[in-house]
Amino acid sequence: MDFDAAVAEEIIAGHLGLEGPALPILHALQAAFGCVPKDAIPLVAKALNRSRAEIHGVVSFYHDFREVPAGKTVVKVCRAEACQAMGGREAASFLLASLGTSWGETTKDGQVTVEAVYCLGLCATAPAALVNDKPFGRLDGMALIEAVAQETGA
């Protein structure tokens, strides 16, 4: 969805009654627009009586917030020690090379975004990843590609 200031203002207003509304507002904006649009930052700042820099700082600090929409499929690959020790680095390298993308990027067709995360709590099944929030474990490069293909229908 393209940015619509009226929709953003409605989302913001709907969360102002919460205690500590900044994160719920930002999550709701991302759910509506696929990211936290830069044009929404001043609206949030004004509503919360904060500076634009403070709100931008929250968006840029938390890895789950995006400044541009993600692909239809989001792959979160664990890069924590347990997964790395079990071959996660190689599996991730294979995935990135196969997709022709890098960490934090979306494929040219807009289908797949690959993000690094630093522990999914799936250490017993390392290396692990989430594909559209569905957990996959004991991954090698081919298994990771297959998990992505399964979720994208490719």
Question: Which tens digits make up the pLDDT trace of 56-74?
Answer: 999 999 988 999 999 999 9
Q: Which domain holds residue 33?
A: 5-61
> Which CATH number do you get for residue 96?
3.40.30.10
* Same structural domain, 80 and 121: yes
Residue 138 lies in a domain: yes
* Same structural domain, 79 and 55: no
Is the full-model pTM beyond 0.75?
Answer: yes
* Same structural domain, 90 and 51: no
* Same structural domain, 97 and 148: yes
Residue 67 lies in a domain: no
Q: Where in the chain does DSSP place strands (E)?
A: 73-78, 112-117, 129-131, 134-136
* Same structural domain, 49 and 88: no
Q: How many domains does the chain have?
A: 2
Distance CA 116, CA 91 (A): 13
pLDDT tens for each residue of 102-137: 999 999 999 999 999 999 999 999 999 999 999 999
